[in-house]
């Protein structure tokens, strides 16, 4: 099996509902995220590639743009607080649960895997979401 990896960098903020480190749930804070996608195939295409890295970039560009410079909050946060944030932020994304790296990895994987179904014989194996230089989570099949 052949596997290729492509990474994407974007800035994003969040506030956790709860966490071990109180700073993460007491304040909105941001990270320089790196999203890595791992794509595999049992065979190479006519160009001797799993998929061209440029094609991965093209497929992912709109998806990355929606997260870049966004504020991600849980829909379970206080509704008055969310209203104020929505009124004052152009890119507020609410998700069903705590916006941890692990939960975001699952959301992103499930959305991204459909982007690659248009190409036969390749599969998104997993994604890795770096919240910082030393901390990341993975989600995949």
**pLDDT, tens digit, 9 for 90 and up, residues 17-49:** 999 988 888 999 999 999 999 999 999 999 999
What is the layout of strands, in order, in the sheet containing 70-74? 92-95, 70-74, 2-14, 29-41, 123-130, 136-140
71 token code pair: 């504020």
CA dihedral 66→86→110→117, nearest 10 degrees, is: -40
- What is the 3-state composition of the chain as percent helix, strand, coil, each rounded to the nearest 5? 35, 35, 35
Distance of alpha carbon 126 from alpha carbon 109, whole angstroms: 7
pLDDT-based confidence at 86, cuts 50/70/90?
very high
pTM: 0.93
pLDDT of residue 141: 83
Q: Which CATH number fits domain 2-140: 3.40.50.620, 3.40.50.11890, 3.30.70.2660, 3.30.479.10?
A: 3.30.479.10
Q: In 1-141, which ranges are E strands?
A: 2-14, 29-41, 70-74, 92-95, 123-130, 136-140
Percentage of residues in the chain with pLDDT exceeding 70? 100
Of residues 118 and 9, the one with the higher pLDDT is 9
pLDDT of residue 119: 85
**SS3 assignment, position 91:** coil
């Amino acid at each position: 099996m052949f596997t290729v990896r492509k990474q994407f960098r974007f800035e994003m903020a969040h506030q956790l509902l709860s966490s071990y480190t109180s700073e993460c749930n007491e304040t909105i804070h941001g990270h320089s995220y790196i999203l890595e996608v791992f794509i595999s195939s049992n065979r190479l295409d006519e160009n001797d590639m799993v998929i061209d890295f440029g094609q991965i970039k093209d497929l992912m560009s709109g998806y990355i743009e929606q997260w870049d410079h966004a504020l991600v909050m849980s829909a379970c946060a206080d509704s008055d607080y969310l209203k104020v944030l929505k009124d004052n932020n152009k890119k507020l994304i609410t998700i069903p649960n705590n916006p941890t790296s692990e939960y975001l990895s699952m959301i992103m994987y499930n959305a991204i895997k459909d982007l690659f179904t248009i190409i036969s014989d390749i599969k998104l194996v997993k994604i890795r979401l770096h919240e910082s230089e030393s901390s990341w989570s993975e989600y995949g099949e």
